[in-house]
Amino acid sequence: MKIPLHNVNWSKALIQNLPEGIVTIDKDGQILFFNNCAERISGWSNIEAIGRSINDVFPLSTGNGKLLEQLSTTAASLPPVNILTRAGKEINLAIKATDLELPESAARETVLLIRDVTMEDAALRLRSYFLANISHEFRTPLSALKASVELLLEGLQDFKLDETRELVNSIHFSVTALQTLIDNLLESVSIEAGRFRIRRHMTGLKKLVTEAAQLMKPLLERRNQKLVVSIPNNLPKVNVDPMRITQVLTNLISNASKYGPIDQPIELALSMKKDNWIKVSVSDHGSGITEEDKSVIFHRFVRATENDKPQYGIGLGLSVVKAIIESHGGAVGVESRPGGGSVFWFTIPVEEP
């Protein structure tokens, strides 16, 4: 069937502008056609790519193999491959290959349908990281809870007051860890779904600091860390969601405890800033945060590499802190502490009376 001329142009425009990369190659892997999306994915222009080998335009970033070998040894669709763009950036591509039947030529051509799945791949890895860690996060406090409750049930009559108190403290500790985890998970889900709302009341921050300190008591006692609080007199009330600000404070105190050394104090200070802001900072004596990590640790599921191994956690707390504070019109940040450690801070605007 002969296609009318305007339809040929239409087909060409369609193929050029498809949102997936379309590349055709001859039997030796030489590029014959290269659409706009293939240009965007690879960084090579159409003029540069045509006539070159597919192996040069899509070099594999790992191993010594070549893309053409993989195309010829595998069935129509390859598992995603890592390649380097012209600018040297590693990206992940899903490639489907199909032989083209050309009515007027005997030469074999293969069409490659190319999709950049770098982001999908990262999201999948994030998901499996999350699933692998979340079960551990639940299991650890639950096992501790179970063990303490079983001990209490078995020996309730025989235990001395001190022993009973120790077991109840351990239960309190595990319940606090579970509560923080569940609160962060719920907040994170509602932030992602765009359902996150705050309910503001005029509140004194001193009350919230006291509540957060009370909640974190079992955690701090376990690591023998004193919480040193400094609050100036006459601090004005702020229009905030009290539960959410308490959650911010508990996250920051729990991190300071987790990543700070045993037996060392944690300082929590409130101060009034010019232009009607209250600044709250939580300082520890831990290993601190590298310059590189400072910009990423407020993202979801990100954990600083240095601290990753020894401590439990899934990298949600700080992303929740940031979302809560920003929805109050404030800002969050972290600074290195002279002499070691970090200072996590946030600001809350004070409304004119």
Q: What residues line the site for ligand ADP (CB under 6 A)? A: 251, 255-256, 259, 284, 286, 289, 297, 303-304, 307, 313-319, 342
Please tell me the distance from the alpha carbon of residue 287 to that of residue 255, in angstroms, as a whole number. Answer: 12
Closest separation in Å from C-beta 337 to ligand ADP: 10
Q: Which is closer to ligand ADP, CB of 170 or CB of 307?
A: 307
The kind and range of the H/E element at 81 are: strand 81-84
Q: How far is the CB of 147 from ligand ADP (least distance, A)?
A: 23
Describe the crossing of helices 205-222 and 161-192 by its angle, rounded to 10 degrees.
120
Q: Are 339 and 320 in contact (CB under 8 A)?
A: no
- In angstroms, the CA 264 to CA 139 distance is 28
Least distance to ligand ADP from the beta carbon of 342, Å?
A: 5
Nearest distance, CB of residue 291 and ligand ADP, angstroms: 13
Strands 342-349 and 31-34: unpaired
Q: Shortest gap between Cβ of 304 and ligand ADP (angstroms)?
A: 3
29 or 260: whose CB is closer to ligand ADP? 260
Asked if 261 and 268 count as a contact pair (C-beta separation under 8 A), the reply is no
Shortest Å, Cβ 207 to ligand ADP = 24
- Which residue is closest to ligand ADP by CB? 313
Whose Cβ is closer to ligand ADP: residue 41's or residue 316's? 316
Could you tell me which of 60, 40, 57 has the C-alpha nearest to residue 48? 57
Residue whose CB is less far from ligand ADP, 38 or 256: 256
- Asked whether the beta carbons of 256 and 284 are under 8 A apart, the reply is yes
Phi/psi at 90 (nearest 5 deg)? -85, 125
- Residue closer to ligand ADP by CB (options 56, 306) is 306
- Residue placing its CB nearer to ligand ADP in the complex, 242 or 313: 313
Give the pair of three-digit tokens for residue 54.
């597919």
Token code pair at residue 212: 């957060």
- Quickly tell me which residue has 């809560």 as its tokens: 324
